[in-house]
Amino acid sequence: MRTVLMPHTRRPVVALRFKPVDSAFYDLLAESARRLVDGAGLLAEMLVEGCDRKDVARRMRDAEHAADETTHEIVRRVNSTFVTPFDREDIYALSSQLDDCMDFMEEAVDLTLLYEVEQLPGELAEIVEIIRHCADLTAEAMPKLKSMKDLEEYWIEVNRLENAGDKYYRRTVAKLFSGQYEALEVLKLKDIVDSLESAVDAFERVANTVEQIHVKES
């Protein structure tokens, strides 16, 4: 901090030198989104017939733990940084929502293993493909927060994908209750489908938050 004497008044005026904005936030958010691409890939791998599901589940847990560490680092930086690139509340929300995406994907993989589901309905592949697309779009969008440019197509497309995911979810649930599956199997598969649907919803919440940040900062 330095003191400046203004002309005429000669009264001292304090000029503050603020700490520069920590650009590491952008890198960490981008890293968090890239981890979602890895998680979505493992989720798709779980659907492959004959895959080693224990190994996939183990790698998914590792990916989820790594994502948690990134989230914790973002929170630590928010709590220790004087000037953040945008509102602290928005950074908290965005990092938490990115973490939710990974959590729901990991939940679906873990339930598939724990329930010892031998065969998954083919319709799940459509929902997983939507999740993979959402993850790719999110990973592409996060680095753009630094410039706040070319983001509108991102949240529009994720919203469209979420609507498509809802349709596939309803069709899958209808098939589960069609009498084609035994009651216990229906309960197991319904839990897995619900986790996948929650993952799609979580990606939409991320996109909505990005839109809100864009409106505030543009």
- pLDDT per residue, tens digit, the chain (218 aa), is 444 444 444 444 444 434 445 578 999 999 999 999 999 999 999 988 889 999 999 999 999 999 999 999 999 999 988 888 889 999 999 999 999 999 999 999 999 999 999 888 888 999 999 999 999 999 999 999 999 999 999 999 999 999 999 999 999 999 999 999 999 999 999 999 999 999 999 999 999 999 999 999 87
End-to-end CA distance of the chain: 30
CA–CA dist 127, 119 (Å, integer): 16
**How many C-beta neighbours within 10 Å does residue 110 have?**
17
Q: Residue by residue, what is the 3-state secondary structure of 3-63?
A: EEECCCCCCEEEECCCCCCCCHHHHHHHHHHHHHHHHHHHHHHHCCCCCCHHHHHHHHHHH
Spatial CA neighbour of 115 closest among 38, 190, 168, 181: 190
Dihedral angle over CA of 64, 70, 76, 77, nearest 10 = -160
Token digits of residue 66:
């790594």
Residue 9's pLDDT is what? Answer: 47
- Predicted pLDDT at 34: 97
- H or E stretch covering 137: helix 124-141
Q: Are residues 162 and 200 in contact, defined by beta-carbon separation less than 8 angstroms?
A: yes
Predicted pLDDT of residue 21: 54
Q: What is the pLDDT at residue 134?
A: 98
pLDDT of residue 188: 96
Q: Which long-range contacts (CB under 8 A, 24 or more apart) does 58-62 make?
A: 60/105, 60/106, 60/109, 60/110, 61/106, 61/110
Q: Which of 196, 40, 59 is nearest to 133 (CA)?
A: 40
- What pLDDT score does 22 carry? 56
Q: What is the pLDDT of residue 87?
A: 92
- Alpha-carbon dihedral sign for residues 29, 32, 37, 43: negative
- CATH homologous superfamily of 19-213 equals Phosphate transport system protein phou homolog 2; domain 2 (1.20.58.220)
Report yes or no: 124 and 111 within 8 Å, Cβ to Cβ: no
